[in-house]
Chain A
Amino acid sequence: MTMNTWQFLISAWTWNPGVLAAGAAALAGYVAAFRDRRRIGWLLAALGVFFFVLLSPLNALADGYLFSAHMAQHILLLLVAPALALLSLPRDFSLPKFLRPLANPCVGWASGVGAMWFWHAPALCNAAVASKPVYAVQTVSLLALGTMFWWQTLAPREAQRISPLAGVLYLFTACTACSVLGIILTFSPVTVCASYLHPTDRLGLLGLIREDWGMNLERDQQIGGLLMWVPMCLLYLSAIFAQFARWYGATPAPVQPVLKEKIS
């Protein structure tokens, strides 16, 4: 049984009811909780990413076939979806009290970077591929940890965020920490996630992947490592620019007459 790329892209969608329900619940919760819904577009974008990651052919590939697809999911769940979700919050949003201890820069940094490193320890990486419950835990934890990471720079109100220059440092160090992992994965002579070594060809994709796409094991892991390294750094870099924009744009001071008096 072989299929071509188009057949694959059309047929490999999985209508996972749990995912759809979670998405619907998030949307309903948002509508119920906030009266100010001007920023709902961001939430829809976040849900779009969420659905894309877990329902699209990307998920089929990540499910035992390609490490690189798994890495793409990882990045989208950790860095993209939570960031978009935070941007959807009304600007007067405050954290419930019991969550406030989590809104700490050290906790945020550790959760963002830790999520990357933790889930790529060979044992855990394999477990997430082999077992559905672990996979579910991984997905939820990535979303949660990603939200904690981005809260520091994307929280709705200025007072909830760290200062822009600290934000640059926060993002830069996080970028470096993830790049190091990317470098290790890219250049490692051994396979990190052994589950991808011998995929069980449930969907009959292996011929397509190995032959038509030329994705051998070595290249697969290399792409995975490079995804974590280059595009992820570009995400962080964009966020760093947002910090600079915030910094230079802050307090657009009116020209105060005091100055003129002072100089003249």
Chain B
Amino acid sequence: MNGDTITLAPGVGAGARILSDAKREHYRLAWLSTVDHKRIGILYMLTALVFFVIGGIEAIFIRIQLAVPNNTFLHPDTYNQIFTMHGTTMIFLVAMPVLFGFVNYILPLQIGARDMAFPRLNAFSFWLVPLGGILLHFSVLSGGGAPAVGWFAYAPLSETPYSSQNNVDYWALALFVLGIGSVGTAINIIATVVSLRAPGMTMRRLPLFTWINFINAFIVVAALPVLNAGLVMLLIDRRLDAHFFLPLAGNGGGSPVLWQHIFWAFGHPEVYILALPAFGMLSEIIPVFSRKPIFGYEFVAASSVAIALLSFGVWAHHMFTVGMGRTADLFFAISSMLIAIPTGVKVLNWTATMIGGRLRLQTPMLFCIAALIQFTCAGLTGISHAMPALDWQTKNSYFLVAHFHFVAVGMIVFVILAGVQYWFPKMSGRMLSERLGKWSFWLMVIGFNMTFVIQHFLGYAGMPRRVYTYPDLPGWTWMNLVSSFGAVFMTAASLVLVYNIVLSLFRGKPAGDNPWNAWTLEWATTSPPPTENFHELPPICSRRPLWDVANPDRPDEVVGAVDEPIRLPDKNKTSILVFIFSEIGFFGVLILAYLYFNARPQPGPGPQELNLFKTAIFSVCLFASSLTIWRAEVSERRSQKGAMAAWLAATVVLGGIFIGGQGMEYYDLFRSGVNVSTNLFATTFFTLTGFHGLHVCMGLIALLIMLGLTLAGDFQRHHSTALTAVGYYWHFVDAVWVAVLTVVYILPHLR
């Protein structure tokens, strides 16, 4: 690189460093204690690899069992456990971690940051993945075998009467833990992109991989809390004898359909949570190997936003056979079909990028091209599932199995493999072998299509999913055998890939900084990058800074003004706002569940048991505490340490009174025999107010920490946004109480 470069000012994009490198090496815990985004990224990928092996072996067992009709290789219960674990593992422990791994590694590099915004939160989020994986697999050791309810655990099968072992509890806990980790990572991604961009990296110049993952983080933040709320409700059903999702004989009882709504309100966005990072990778790799910029950057970027928004309005297309009624079917049909448009726009843009380029058919590009074709197929079968009339025949058949494997393997896994080939040189400093790469590519293409193309026809021939065996009906036997045979090739492809990685780590050709002549900032540093990522950065005036450097005679059009200043909002405030956004989703589901079950009076206790007057009194305390914490912030800004401590203490006391009042209310209810399992009013009431109380307690802990820090003299020298962040959170807790008070206490009086 010649010419003028921007030297990073100390502190730009700096992350926290707990221990110096030397010290950590000294403790020989460098990888366990790391908070470096690159190492965490690699840890994510290695964890995903471990679980990929487990999930892959499960897949092989499934295909062995189904290779011939009336097979007795596996006991039906074992088979049901295996497909449940296969689905759960591949989605939550393979696909999400590996994609988060790429984002962790690549995204800070692409925006010229030194690390993620919150390195310790990053490490915490990562370590929740192995914890979740262990929890999930611990169910096997707990005596009841693994969960056998399918990866979406439809109620009532997942309820205690039909799954009495505690395996479903482990399943729910594992997903809950993983969900928290994912939200943490997503908040981190958003804060990083918003607050840690290098000079010149305006939002309009973001590489597409970064932009798409930035958008994707919002989906994660909005969707995962919905799942978490559902899981909490399922656990309350299972452990506390409630019945959110369990219909009772006679009057009363919950709704199995509600579980489906909640699960898919998370589950469909989840599909895009997995797909969008892959779209991001396609949007990086295809241009580089076509030697052209992406065709229609703005349209690819904006269509990602369209997908993100629409993904929340289409979930019920998973429920066209559950009997929602014609109207709902039609509306969800049109919204689901509409989401095909932004997706189609992307496919066409990638194709158009190739036209007129100079295609270098190296392994990453091969994987991308195969992914593109296979994804087109997956998208088209997807539209057929969005058309209720067709879905009525193909749903829950092998046609559906083929469709989502075309998305999850044919597109996402293929793109991940492209990403591995593409970024491995950056991560290791060595090239992967092209020859072995091509072997694994062709084995994968043959194996994948052999396994899954034919499953479309199996579905048309009437084979349902999730059966441990089948009778010898016309066509079923040979089609299943072909499908199982394809799995052999996929296994071989995976083995070649792993061999390639291990071999190349030691014997690979040295990569150099920029082996593919790519254009984004991760290629502007050494391979692998130093701990601090960059010593210097090229000037950033367009979306392809390294193109501008390599082609000074024909640089890209400048996006915006050359020396456009960038605005970097505070990362603490950003992250707490995003966190609150995710909490709104969680409480939203609980409030909607309350409204749903209490729209008609329930038999047994109802809102008339509640004492509005008493509640009003301790509610006032909570609302007053919003004022006191605001005063505390004002005092902090004025450096009045004493006043600040006093206002904080007042806030804690007021919050404490509220919790005390709530405790008294609970005590009264318990004494009159109302508890969480009494009826659906009691269940929804305790769930909603209980989780609000829990959040108040969390807020109190945060306040006490602030108070302790104040008294220890931590806030004397400079203004800190930490208190502002806690303040935002506290106001939010109050706002939730406004909603709860209105819905639970006041609304019944208005009727």
Q: Do chains A and B touch in the complex (CB under 8 A)?
A: yes
Question: What is the CA–CA distance of A233 and B548 in the complex, to the nearest angstrom?
Answer: 40
Closest B residue to A191 using CB positions:
B599
- Contact between chains at B328 and A175 (CB < 8 Å): no
Contact with A along B140-160 (1 / 0, CB 8 A): 000000000000000000000
Check if B712 is an interface residue, CB within 8 A of chain A: no
B548, closest chain A residue (CB): A263
Contact A256 B562 (CB under 8 A): yes
Report Cα–Cα, A172/B221, bound state, in Å.
14
CA distance A262 to B301 in the complex (A): 29
Could you tell me which residues of chain B, from 535 to 556, have a CB within 8 Å of some CB in chain A? Answer: 539, 541, 548-549, 552, 555
Q: A179-B313, A248-B204, A263-B3 are in contact. Are A226 and B327 (CB under 8 A)?
A: yes
- Name B293-332 residues within 8 Å CB distance of A: 298, 301-302, 305-306, 309-310, 312-313, 325-328, 331
Report the separation of the CA atoms of residues A172 and B219 in the bound assembly, to the nearest whole angstrom: 12
B548: which A residues are within 8 A, CB to CB? 259, 263
Q: Is A131 an interface residue (CB 8 A)?
A: no
Across-interface contacts of B3 in A (CB, < 8 A)? 262-264
- Let me know if A251 is at the binding interface, CB within 8 A: yes
Taking a contact as CB atoms closer than 8 A, the residue among A234, A240, A258, A264 that contacts B552 in the complex is A264
Tell me, in angstroms, the Cα distance from A263 to B313 when the chains sit together: 47
Question: Is A258 a contact of B562 with CB atoms below 8 Å?
Answer: yes
- Say yes or no: is A18 at the interface (Cβ < 8 Å to chain B): no
Rounded to whole Å, the gap between the CB of A121 and the closest CB of chain B is: 8
- Interface of B, secondary structure class, is helix
Q: In the complex, are the beta carbons of A230 and B305 less than 8 A apart?
A: no
Given A248-B204, A263-B555, A240–B331 Cβ distance below 8 Å? Answer: no
- From 217 to 257 in chain A, residues with beta carbon under 8 angstroms from any chain B beta carbon are 218-219, 222-223, 226, 229-230, 233-234, 237, 240-241, 244-245, 247-248, 250-251, 253, 255-256
- Asked whether A188 and B305 contact (CB < 8 A) given A165-B203, A180-B592, A256-B562, the answer is no
A187 at the interface (CB under 8 A from B): yes
Distance A186 CA – B306 CA, assembled complex (angstroms): 23
A179 neighbours in B (Cβ, 8 Å): 312-313
Give chain B's interface residue range (CB within 8 Å of chain A): 35 or more
A183 interface residue per 8 A CB criterion: yes
Chain A: CB-nearest residue to B334: A230
Could you say which of A189, A229, A241, A255 contacts B331, with CB atoms under 8 Å apart? A229
Whether B204 pairs with A253 at a CB distance below 8 angstroms is: no
Contact status B562-A237, CB under 8 Å: no
Q: Does A1 contact B (CB under 8 A)?
A: no
Give chain B nearest CB distance to A43 CB in angstroms: 29
With A and B bound together, what is the CA distance between A180 and B320 in angstroms? 21
User: Closest residue of chain A to B541, judged by CB?
Assistant: A259
A244 CA / B558 CA spacing, docked (Å): 18
Contact A260 to B327, CB < 8 A, known contacts A184-B592, A233-B313: no
CB distance from B346 to the nearest CB of A (A): 15
Hey, what's the 0/1 contact readout for B587-619 against A, CB within 8 Å counting as 1? 010001001100110000000000000000000
Whether B357 is near chain A, meaning CB under 8 Å from some CB there, is no
> Which B residues lie within 8 Å of A237 (CB)?
306, 309-310
CB of B544, distance to nearest CB on chain A (Å): 12
A residues neighboring B (CB under 8 Å): 123, 165, 168, 172, 175, 179-180, 183-184, 186-190, 218-219, 222-223, 226, 229-230, 233-234, 237, 240-241, 244-245, 247-248, 250-251, 253, 255-256, 258-260, 262-264
* A-B residue pairs in contact (CB < 8 Å), sample of 5: A189-B599, A233-B313, A260-B555, A263-B552, A263-B555
A184-B595, A260-B555 known; 18 new pairs, CB 8 Å cut-off, are A172-B309, A180-B588, A187-B596, A188-B595, A189-B596, A189-B600, A219-B326, A229-B331, A234-B338, A241-B306, A253-B557, A258-B563, A259-B555, A259-B558, A260-B552, A262-B539, A263-B3, A264-B552
